Amino acid sequence: MSEKAGVVEGWVSNVKTVGKITFIEVIDDLSISPVTVVVKRDSVDAETWSKASSMKIGSAVRVEGVFPDIIVSRKGRELQAKAITVLSEPIELPPIDLTGKTPASFDLYVDFRYLALRLPRFRAVFIARAKLVEFTREFFAKNGFLEVHTPKLVGAGAEGGATLFTVDYFGQKAYLSQSPQLYKQMLMCGVPRVFEITPYFRAEKFSTPRHLNESWGLDVEMGFIEDEEDVMKVLEEFIGASINYLRMEVGDMLKTVGLSLIDPPSSIPRITYSEIIDILNSIGYNIQWGEDLDTQAEKSLGEYLSAKGTPIYFITKYPWDAKPFYIMREGDNLSKSFDLDIKGIEVASGGQREHRYHELVQNLKAKGLSLEEFSFYIKAFMYGMPPHGGFGLGLDRLLMTFLGLSNIREVVLFPRDRFRLIP
């Protein structure tokens, strides 16, 4: 074997000089472990040795050299330097320790995410995020779904609620989109299956570990269904396949930084809302039928079911009064709806939609919503709208639960909540 010439470009994460050898650890490319650059005083010119021995942590460098046949570094990759170019040096001491030896506060890691990405754990999380999005697109495209892009400046909210960010649209009131819900349903009039990877905007004063005011999600809609079970089957397959894909692509990398993926489910049980109320009341709650489940009740439910070997589960047959106007009724009080929860955290919500024009109009009236405001949407139901259903899924929450993390801000590069508008 012969040594191979190569170039390493990246950021210096550690420097150590022992006698006539300087070891420089460089975070390069998308690796989570550094390349150890070995600079031998007797093998380089005086200028290169001077650069190496005085190197500042945090510098951006380009190193030319050879990859040796026999590697001494315990980090696994090594380059014996021939020439070093310092492209940029830090002007001041970084606010977080770029060697990773001294931990910083949660907020500092968020405020200086662009620096934190040089540390293995943060790199691993966002590589996993990219892989999840990559797989999501591949999965739905292969299953015959058309990728679409719907407006983010809209004239009406999908939920008809007050949690909308208002913007001035040339003198007319407009909103940042809460969801592609209305548009993806309208598309069912011309395309049988669609999906969108999209931002959501919610103008609520969230202060929880699971909420953000700007988040990213997956929206799916499919026509010509029998009922909501057809939708749940697609979602169930996606969940299992995405966990397996991440295991294959980044499982070892995640283990290296102390993270592990949730086990893929062999199947996801369907538990009715009524059964959930019975479970919660049996463990000390006093919830009346029809009430929403608060965060603590959801958490307790997740702990109870996880202890029984069911960390991922569907909650089905919610009261219609608790669901949006576009969800189809089932009988007088129930709806053809579901949520998907993972360990007590809702990650997706969906169901069969009301595709019949007159019934949809009655739903809007029953919810006290303006027919005029939603006229553009209702019109699509006049031209042969098939039975359809779908779901919206929070990709941020999904990754958070897959990795067992406790705060959604850990999987979002630059979180937007009530206290954060910069960076």
pLDDT digit string (tens) for the chain, length 423 residues? 567 899 999 999 999 999 999 999 999 999 999 999 999 999 999 999 999 999 999 999 999 999 988 766 666 789 999 999 999 999 999 999 999 899 999 999 999 999 999 999 999 999 999 999 999 999 999 999 999 999 999 987 766 556 899 999 999 999 999 999 999 999 999 999 999 999 999 999 888 999 999 999 999 999 999 999 999 999 999 999 999 999 999 999 999 999 999 999 999 999 999 999 999 999 999 999 999 899 999 999 999 999 999 999 999 999 999 999 999 999 999 999 999 999 999 999 999 999 999 999 999 999 999 999 899 999 999 999 999 999 999 999 999 999 999 999 999 999 999 999 999
pTM of the model: 0.94
Q: Does domain 4-88 have CATH number 2.40.50.140?
A: yes
**Neighbour-count burial for 291-318, b at 16+ CB within 10 Å, e otherwise:** eebeeebbebbbebbeeeeebbbbbbbb
Question: Exposed/middle/buried for 187, CB within 10 Å: 0-12, 13-18, 19+?
Answer: buried
- Beta bridge partner(s), residue 23: 16, 38
Nearest to 240 by CA among 60, 398, 28: 398
**Chain mean position to CA 58:** 29
Residue 395 annotated as part of some ligand binding site: yes
Residue 134 annotated as part of some ligand binding site: no
Q: In whole angstroms, what is the distance from residue 148 CA to residue 198 CA? A: 10
Residue 405 annotated as part of some ligand binding site: no
Residue 396 annotated as part of some ligand binding site: yes
Nearest to 15 by CA among 6, 25, 27: 25
Residue 397 annotated as part of some ligand binding site: yes
Residue 373 annotated as part of some ligand binding site: no
Delimit the domains of the chain by residue range: 4-88, 120-411
Name the one residue in this structure whose structure tokens are 């719907």. 150
From the DSSP assignment, how many helices (H) and strands (E) are in the chain? 11, 18
Percent helix, strand and coil across the chain, each to the nearest 5 = 30, 30, 40
Residue 303 annotated as part of some ligand binding site: no
Residue 202 annotated as part of some ligand binding site: yes
Q: In whole angstroms, what is the distance from residue 286 CA to residue 277 CA? A: 9
Q: How far is CA 264 from CA 106, 219, 239, in A?
A: 29, 21, 8
Name the one residue in this structure whose structure tokens are 């993270």. 259
Q: Is 291 left (phi over 0), alpha (psi -120 to 50) or beta?
A: beta
Domain 120-411 CATH (choose: 3.30.70.260, 3.50.50.60, 3.30.70.1450, 3.30.930.10):
3.30.930.10
Residue 159 annotated as part of some ligand binding site: yes
Residue 210 annotated as part of some ligand binding site: yes
